[in-house]
Structure 1
Amino acid sequence: MANNSNKNKLFAAHCHGYGILPNGELFDMNSIKTRRNNNISIFGASGAGKTRSFVIPNILSAVNSYIVSDPKGNLYTRYADLMRKNGYKVIHIDLIRPECSDRYNPLCYVHNSDDACKLATQIVNLGYGGVMNSKDPFWDRAAELLLKSLIGLVMENCYEVLSSINSISELLTKIDFEDEDTFALNNSELNKIFVRHAARYQRMFENSWAYDQYLKFKATPPRTLACIIITIQAMLGPFASKGLKSMTSGFNTIDFKTIGQEKTIVFLGISDTDRSKDLLANIFYSQAMNELCNYADYECKDSRLPVPVRFILDDFGTNCRIHGFENMISNIRSRDISATLILQSEAQLKQGYGESSHTIIDNCDTIVYMGGNDVETARMISERCNQPLQKILNMPIGTNWIFRRGEQPKHSETVDLSAYRIMEKGYREKTG
């Protein structure tokens, strides 16, 4: 039961810029002072209290900017107005009901050929479910070449192509497949679009980078070309829905740089049962982290964001597969960016990130275990706290183990601070 002492902890976190752990303990988030990163891995079975003891209290402490995965959409519904009252800019990217969402167009963040290559690689990688086609990497490379060329058309402002992922998918329909033997890319409408664009672009600027990638793709054998095109169309299929077409077309209502400039909370609504929109969610996370890192590196004093940004990523092992995250997490501390990864088990993390899962955990200076039935996760915790495996598997419900680099492990009761909130001007009020 929450009490006045717990209420005061939440208020102290707000006043002093502290983070809150599930045992109610506050920790200093000044990573320069503590010489620890603020990355946190939280392991716990469904119903262990991960949201109520960590996610909600840390959001309501109103300390940093936040990018929060919201698997059921409940966090936005309950706390958006409250965060506005606390002076926050609230952004809602709703993949559950995209027709109600703020606008997010991934192509608005393609500024150069490097960004085009990165986005193409993400789509191919994540389109295969988070792993590359290891049996025949040739297919991956060919698919990336085609996507680079199509994204390049948008980047180079080809007037025949709209700035949306769905318009890229529609370009692939401008190829006629009579049968595998008569398939001829040279006679297609897509080829004519590229030829016209290359001629116009050369007159105004220089050789078209998009056309160069297209020529490389054209060297692929005809039968392989047809299979690759169909595969990419399947990957981009969800973008054809009416809601996503509207949400991902035209200009953004979100600028990632401003998240590091002023207190902002982004709720990303992503269904925990419908996996069809995971690709867009993962592109969003990747672009957000890349844009914030670039902003810190090139435009901010000491390469640190004016307002620190915390990614709170629920269901991280399944619907938060950020491409290249194992490299990002080891470098984001210096920019005042941190990530909280919420998982049910270590196996869930391995499923999403393979052998890189160890790198990800090793770059979290705080690990929280809130109980569960996965033996491998329990074994990892058993070794860390030097306790018998059976004791970890049978730990009482409502308790947790917390490991902080440089400190002894702590076994504590889980504290629910979700019943309290910080109001504007520092007032504390119970929500009931």
Structure 2
Amino acid sequence: MTTLLGELESKATSINKKNLVIQDFDTKCPNRNIFVVGGPGSYKSAGYVIPNVIVKNQQSIVVTDPSGEVYEKTSNIKRMQGFDVRVVNFKNFLASDRQNFFDYIDKDSDCSIVAELIIKSAGDSKINKDVWYKASVGLLNSLLLYAKYEFEPEKRTIGNIIKFIQNNKPNQDEEGSVELDKRFNELSKDHPARESYEFGFAVSEGRTRASIILTFVADLRNYIDNEIRSYTSDSDFDLRDVGLRKTIIYVMLPVLGNTVQSLSSLFFSQMFQQLYRLGDENGARLPVPVDFLLDEWPNIGAIPDYEETLATCRKYGISITTIVQSISQAVDKYNKDKANAIIGNHAVILCLGNVNNDTAKYIKEELGNATVEFETSSEGSSSGKDSRSKSSNKNVSYTGRALLNEDEISNMQQDKAILITKNRNPKIIKKLAYFKMFPNLTETYIAPQNEYKRKKNQSMIDKHNRLREEWDKKQEKNKQQKLEEYKEEQRQKELEKEQQPQEEQQNEKVKESKDKNDQEDKKDEQQKINDSKKAFYEKLKQKQAK
């Protein structure tokens, strides 16, 4: 599990294994990350990527392959070495394995990560994060959560989210109601999607809401494309497979202007996330080590937390080779400080030459200074009447100068490379070339990239079956719960019916008793009145008699 870097200087015309410069898996360097910089035609693919793809046969490999050359020259070789060969083709989605990012949304917090990567549009990490941007991210996060809990597993795709938006308009209709609001309000108050929606998009009104919708629609424009919808409709392999069995993934990127950087950056973000989670489940170590060879790395798009990944990946058995044409590419994609942090997390820098002035200056500073010895001499003569003499003096001085200056780096011989390793002296080494190392091998096993046929593997079939089973169990549980609620409701109604006659009978008795008491009271009252009248007349008679 070594990485080929180059060859020591020798007079031999053929490559000698003893002269190979390699990085071992158990290197004493802080990490196994390698930063490769070289301009066009500097043998980045021919001298570094292809030789390493061929010789690495004890670990999984993820290699970016802008032109598809690496796949065509090595994929059949890797099949013979026992690798599961996979292609993710952002140039031609019809000749690509599919990847649905929903298959890797394991936690609610994953939705916000996916939402931000998608809304970043072209993957520019320096995008202006204004209020519309943040609100658009919040809206997509709510929709992803809704799909996670309310869509059937097979329907959890970005395409179906777009359909959901089309069927439930987010703006007011003529009557002043909002269909999207209604759908979220149907959810329970503690539902993650409703909570996200109510504390975000739901509070917007009028022009603010219209601006959010415009931003949201613009950022999802790529996903309306039928090929992209097809690519994101399913997953043909599980990203975790890379850490479980020998697998090689060829990631083909557009050479000019990657307009789907949100997809490619999302792919790598979820790849690292899944490998780290797999490692954490396995004692912070992957069952199968993984090497990333990221040619034309800036064209992937900004990968979240890339510098942190570089700093922590070794313990999981991951190594990363970051390949660029110039240092300024890294600065443009991120910023100067972050670019320096990224480069600093590579224990090895390999400069393949043909670089611009900024890169040459950076390499010069990394090389540092050397002490140079200067010797100066002077002669003098003197003469007298009878004699003549001569004298000479030698002076030795020391001065510091750059080990190599910008011109020497820029104009380095075509077959030479500069190797800078932390805590070791730098070296000038010879570049490798796959056609010298393996004459005729790659041409014998050519595999045309556009003839690749996707095939869903068993691990992803099993995963989708598990998701369906979980969904069916959840639906059955909800059905039983609703049935129990219905039964309880009916039981309460029956009890009310049973209690009603008893209550009416009791009320009737109470009424009868009350009526009886009232009648007796009336009789008593009447008797009192009669007695009072009788007494009055008796007194009146007695008075008249007198």
TM over 0.5: yes
- Find out whether 1:288 has 2:305 as its counterpart: no
Q: CA, structure 1 residues 183+400, in 2 after alignment: closer, same or farther (shift >3 Å)?
A: farther
Q: What is the aligned counterpart of 1:262 among 230, 236, 245?
A: 245
Q: What is the aligned counterpart of 2:180 among 172, 190, 208?
A: 190
Give the 3-state SS of the residue equivalent to 2:120 in structure 1.
Answer: helix
Aligned to 1:371: 353
For residues 298-339 of structure 1, the C-alpha deviation after alignment (integer angstroms, 9 at most, x for no partner) is x213x1112111111111123342122122211111111111
Q: CA, structure 1 residues 110+418, in 2 after alignment: closer, same or farther (shift >3 Å)?
A: farther
For residues 5-42 of structure 1, the C-alpha deviation after alignment (integer angstroms, 9 at most, x for no partner) is xxxxxxxxxxxx211014473434324x5243111111
Return the alpha-carbon distance in structure 2 between the equivalents of residues 113 and 352 of structure 1.
29
Over aligned residues, Cα RMSD in angstroms? 2.5
Aligned to 2:163: 170
Displacement after TM superposition at 1:270 (Å): 1.4
Structure 1: gaps of 5 or more residues? 1-16, 423-427
Aligned to 2:333: 352
Return the alpha-carbon distance in structure 2 between the equivalents of residues 160 and 431 of structure 1.
44
The sequence identity of aligned pairs, in percent, is 26
Contact 1:99 1:243 (C-alpha < 8 Å) held by counterparts: yes
For residues 187-208 of structure 1, the C-alpha deviation after alignment (integer angstroms, 9 at most, x for no partner) is 2332233233x14xx7xxxx21
Aligned to 2:104: 109
Alignment map for 1:243-282 (pairs within 5 Å): 243-250=227-234, 252-282=235-265
Give the 3-state SS of the residue equivalent to 1:51 in structure 2.
Answer: helix
Q: CA, structure 1 residues 222+329, in 2 after alignment: closer, same or farther (shift >3 Å)?
A: farther
Aligned to 1:139: 132
- Code of the residue aligned with 2:315 in structure 1: it is S
For residues 260-292 of structure 1, the C-alpha deviation after alignment (integer angstroms, 9 at most, x for no partner) is 111100011111124222210110001001110
- Find out whether 1:416 has 2:406 as its counterpart: no
Contact 2:244 2:287 (C-alpha < 8 Å) held by counterparts: yes
Contact 1:143 1:228 (C-alpha < 8 Å) held by counterparts: yes
Return the alpha-carbon distance in structure 2 between the equivalents of residues 72 and 21 of structure 1.
22
Return the alpha-carbon distance in structure 1 between the equivalents of residues 265 and 170 of structure 2.
32
Larger radius of gyration: 2
When structure 1 is superposed on structure 2, of 358-367 and 392-401 the one drifting more is 392-401
Return the alpha-carbon distance in structure 1 between the equivalents of residues 240 and 170 of structure 2.
44
Displacement after TM superposition at 1:175 (Å): 5.7
Aligned to 2:302: 321
Aligned to 1:59: 53
Q: What is the aligned counterpart of 1:232 among 186, 204, 216?
A: 216
For residues 224-260 of structure 1, the C-alpha deviation after alignment (integer angstroms, 9 at most, x for no partner) is 222222222222222222222112113x112122211
What is the TM-score with the length of structure 2 in the denominator?
A: 0.68
Q: CA, structure 1 residues 23+125, in 2 after alignment: closer, same or farther (shift >3 Å)?
A: farther
Alignment map for 1:25-174 (pairs within 5 Å): 25-31=20-26, 34-61=28-55, 62-127=57-122, 129-134=124-129, 136=130, 138-159=131-152, 162-174=155-167
- Code of the residue aligned with 2:149 in structure 1: it is E
- Code of the residue aligned with 1:378 in structure 2: it is A
Give the 3-state SS of the residue equivalent to 1:75 in structure 2.
Answer: helix
Return the alpha-carbon distance in structure 2 between the equivalents of residues 103 and 161 of structure 1.
14
- Code of the residue aligned with 2:96 in structure 1: it is S
Give the 3-state SS of the residue equivalent to 1:330 in structure 2.
Answer: helix
Q: CA, structure 1 residues 234+400, in 2 after alignment: closer, same or farther (shift >3 Å)?
A: same
Contact 2:244 2:286 (C-alpha < 8 Å) held by counterparts: yes
Aligned to 2:418: 401
Return the alpha-carbon distance in structure 1 between the equivalents of residues 168 and 154 of structure 2.
15
- Code of the residue aligned with 1:53 in structure 2: it is G
Return the alpha-carbon distance in structure 1 between the equivalents of residues 245 and 133 of structure 2.
39
Contact 1:153 1:161 (C-alpha < 8 Å) held by counterparts: no
Q: CA, structure 1 residues 161+229, in 2 after alignment: closer, same or farther (shift >3 Å)?
A: farther
Return the alpha-carbon distance in structure 2 between the equivalents of residues 320 and 404 of structure 1.
27
Displacement after TM superposition at 1:128 (Å): 5.9
Contact 2:61 2:291 (C-alpha < 8 Å) held by counterparts: yes
Aligned to 1:4: none
Return the alpha-carbon distance in structure 2 between the equivalents of residues 90 and 74 of structure 1.
15
